[in-house]
């Protein structure tokens, strides 16, 4: 199985470092995730145990663990993943939940007024995803029940379209 | 001295009265109802990077591109990812027109260029202290004034009929530039503010600032309107 970790377009050192820690890698391995990829954005992490291939960092001795900064689209990663662990950015959340993938989010509390926290906890209450913290991440992975999630509603573009048509005099 | 003070007071009162009248007209939605529906509307959208870009493009994907044409994607200087995502959306929605802009910054649009990309300096970077923001915001505002106010005056092509923004600080500069147009009675786009899906319990800073001034203030979670302030909620738009 494939676990994909993403921090979106900014920087979230805490999540990247935790995701690459033994505590998390061990529990992922134990749960059967044989491929682990971390999209680290502008985050910093200790590259000592990694080999730079020119495009990605690959963990020495464990080629199934790799890290890279950006790709123009993460759609393919989301589609292939069996588990996504990400920051609680709304864009990522929407993209992943629309693909009906199990999602664990960690709000990035360094952002302006900690706005990721609201969305994470509300969607967790609605059982669309699991919200956790950097320190609790191994536990969250361990206790994950993918079948317990409520599917995210399908995109309904008519609401915005109708509102704009109304405003602009097309309605 | 007294006469100078009186003149200044008079000018200031005129400015304040004009502002009040502009804001009032913005909030009375049916003040300029069209007798016949338009054929097309030119649309501008601000892509604020990250989730703001994703959400804005999802909103746009719901629209009929033959109706909302030409389109202008405004992105922050250096944010190539947003520009690429805009181009992606355009290819996905590729209608009969297949022409692409040959230059990233085009000052006028016509029927042969269905969309253009425009970059403006950010008013505030992620993690930037709010203390240093006024300086970067001023720079951003000047560029916005160029695109929204000055270039249209010089070229005769209006900036857009409608501007869609969804929250990042830089969109406040765009809206401020639109207000300058309104103040002077120049053509100005309708401003549609859609608060991010991420805002469940509290409005963003931009949302709080722009709420009284935009033509439509739309939120995606009903709790945000519990304060009884202006706005509408139609559920999740994304």
d(CA A100, CA B184): 50
How many C-alpha atoms does B160 have within 13 Å on its Cβ side? 32
Q: How does pLDDT run across B8-23, given as a tens digit for each residue?
A: 998 998 888 888 888 8
* Res B26: pLDDT: 80
Q: What is the DSSP string of B36-77?
A: S--S-EEEEEEE-SHHHHHHHHHHHHTS-TTTEEEEEEEEET
B110 pLDDT tier (thresholds 50, 70, 90)? very low
| pLDDT, tens digit, 9 for 90 and up, residues A22-73 | 999 999 999 999 999 999 999 999 999 999 998 899 999 988 999 999 987 8
pLDDT tier, B168 (very low <50, low <70, confident <90, very high otherwise): confident
The confidence score (pLDDT) of residue B123 equals 85
pLDDT at B105: 41
Residue A112 has what pLDDT? 64
pLDDT on residue B237: 95
Q: Is the pLDDT of residue B37 over 90?
A: no
Question: Residue B39: pLDDT band by 50, 70, 90 thresholds?
Answer: confident
User: Is the confidence metric ipTM above 0.90 for this complex?
Assistant: no
Q: Which residues of A touch B201 (CB under 8 A)?
A: 118, 122
Give the pLDDT mean for B73-98.
85
- For chain A, which residues make up each domain, given as ranges? 2-168
Q: Rounded distance, CA B84 to CA B70, Å? A: 18
User: A2-168 adopts what CATH topology?
Assistant: Rossmann fold (3.40.50)
**B216 pLDDT exceeds 60?**
yes
Selection from A26, A28, A67 nearest residue A46 by Cα: A67
Chain A residues in contact with B232 by the CB 8 A cut-off are 163
What is the C-alpha separation between B20 and B15, in angstroms, rounded?
9
Alpha carbon of B14: minimum distance to chain A alpha carbons (Å): 30
Q: What percent of chain B has pLDDT over 90?
A: 61
Measure B217 CA to nearest chain A CA, in Å: 11
Band (B98; pLDDT cuts 50, 70, 90)? very low
User: Which of A7, A168, A171 to mutate to probe the B interface, most B CBs <10 Å?
Assistant: A168
Mean pLDDT, range B88-100, rounded to an integer: 70
pLDDT at A3: 97
Q: Are A106 and A85 in contact (CB under 8 A)?
A: yes
Output the pLDDT for position B32. Answer: 52
In the predicted model, what is the mean pLDDT of residues B71-97? 88
**In this structure, are residues A86 and A66 in contact, taking their beta carbons and an 8 Å threshold?**
no
pTM of the model: 0.83
Q: Please, which pLDDT band fits residue B158 given cuts at 50, 70 and 90?
A: very high
Q: Which residues contact A61 (CB under 8 A, 6 or more apart)?
A: none
Structure confidence at residue B35 as a pLDDT band (50, 70, 90): low
Name the nearest CA neighbour of A48 among A87, A13, A20. Answer: A20
- pLDDT higher than threshold 80 for residue B179: yes
Q: Averaged over B188-198, what is the pLDDT?
A: 95
Cβ within 8 Å of A, B 23-42: 29, 33-34, 37-38, 41
| Mean pLDDT value across residues A142-158 | 94
Lookup: tokens for B34: 């069209």
The nearest CA of chain B is from the CA of A164 a distance in Å of 8
- Give me the pLDDT at residue B108, please: 42
Per-residue exposure over A118-146, b if at least 16 CB sit within 10 Å of its own CB, e if not: bbbbbbbeeebbbbbebeebbebbeebee
Nearest to B220 by CA among A97, A159, A93: A159
Structure tokens at A123: 């969607």
Please report, to the nearest 10 degrees, the dihedral formed by the alpha carbons of residues B89, B95, B99, B102 taken in order: -20
The structure tokens listed for B17 are 């009265």
The mean pLDDT of B125-151, rounded to a whole number, is 89
Strand partners, B165: B193
Work out the pLDDT band at A127, boundaries 50, 70, 90.
Answer: very high
- Smallest CA–CA distance from B51 into chain A, residue: A91
Query: For residue B16, what are its two tokens?
Result: 């304040």
Q: Where are the beta strands (DSSP E) in chain A?
A: 2-6, 35-39, 50-52, 57-59, 62-68, 83-87, 103-106, 130-131
Residue B153 scores a pLDDT above 80:
yes
Compute the mean pLDDT over every residue in chain B, rounded to the nearest whole number: 87
Check residue B53 and give its pLDDT.
92
| pLDDT (0 to 100) of residue B124 | 81
Average pLDDT over residues B39-49: 93
pLDDT value for A28 = 96
Q: How far apart are CA A61 and CA A44, in angstroms?
A: 21
A161 touches chain B (CB under 8 A): yes
């Amino acid at each position: 199985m494939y676990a994909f970790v993403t921090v979106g377009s900014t920087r979230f050192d805490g999540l990247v470092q935790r995701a690459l820690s033994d505590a998390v890698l061990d529990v992922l391995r134990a749960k059967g995730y044989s491929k682990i990829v971390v999209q680290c954005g502008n985050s910093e992490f200790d590259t000592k145990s990694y080999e730079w291939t020119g495009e990605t960092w690959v963990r020495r001795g464990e080629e199934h663990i790799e890290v890279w900064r950006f790709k123009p689209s993460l759609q393919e990663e989301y589609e292939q993943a069996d588990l996504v662990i990400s920051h609680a950015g709304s864009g990522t959340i929407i993209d992943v939940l629309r693909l009906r993938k199990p999602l664990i989010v960690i709000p990035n509390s360094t952002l302006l007024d900690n706005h990721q926290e609201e969305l994470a906890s509300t969607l967790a209450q609605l059982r669309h995803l699991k919200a956790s913290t950097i320190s609790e991440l191994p536990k969250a992975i361990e206790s994950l029940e993918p079948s317990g999630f409520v599917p995210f509603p399908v995109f309904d573009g008519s609401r915005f379209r109708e509102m704009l048509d109304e405003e602009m005099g097309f309605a | 001295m007294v006469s100078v003070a009186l003149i200044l007071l008079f000018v200031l009162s005129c400015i304040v009265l004009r502002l009040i009248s502009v804001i009032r007209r913005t909030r009375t939605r049916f003040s300029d109802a069209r007798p016949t529906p338009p054929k097309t509307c030119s649309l501008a959208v601000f892509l604020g990077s990250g989730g703001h870009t994703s959400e804005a493009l999802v909103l746009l994907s719901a629209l009929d591109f033959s109706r909302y044409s030409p389109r202008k994607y405004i992105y922050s200087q250096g944010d190539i990812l947003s520009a690429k995502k805009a181009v992606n959306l355009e290819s996905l929605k590729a209608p009969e027109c297949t022409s692409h802009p040959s230059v990233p910054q085009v000052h006028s649009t016509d029927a042969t260029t269905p969309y253009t990309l425009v970059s403006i300096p950010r008013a505030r970077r992620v993690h930037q202290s709010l203390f240093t923001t006024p300086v970067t915001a001023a720079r951003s505002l000047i560029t916005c004034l160029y695109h929204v106010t000055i270039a249209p005056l010089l070229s005769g092509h209006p900036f857009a009929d409608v501007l869609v923004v969804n929250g990042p600080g830089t969109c406040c500069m765009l809206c401020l530039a639109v207000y300058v147009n309104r103040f002077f009675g120049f053509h100005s786009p309708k401003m549609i503010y859609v608060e991010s899906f991420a805002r469940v319990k509290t409005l963003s800073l931009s949302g709080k600032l722009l709420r009284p001034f935009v033509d439509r203030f739309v939120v995606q979670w009903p709790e945000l309107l519990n304060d009884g302030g202006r706005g509408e909620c139609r559920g999740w738009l994304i």
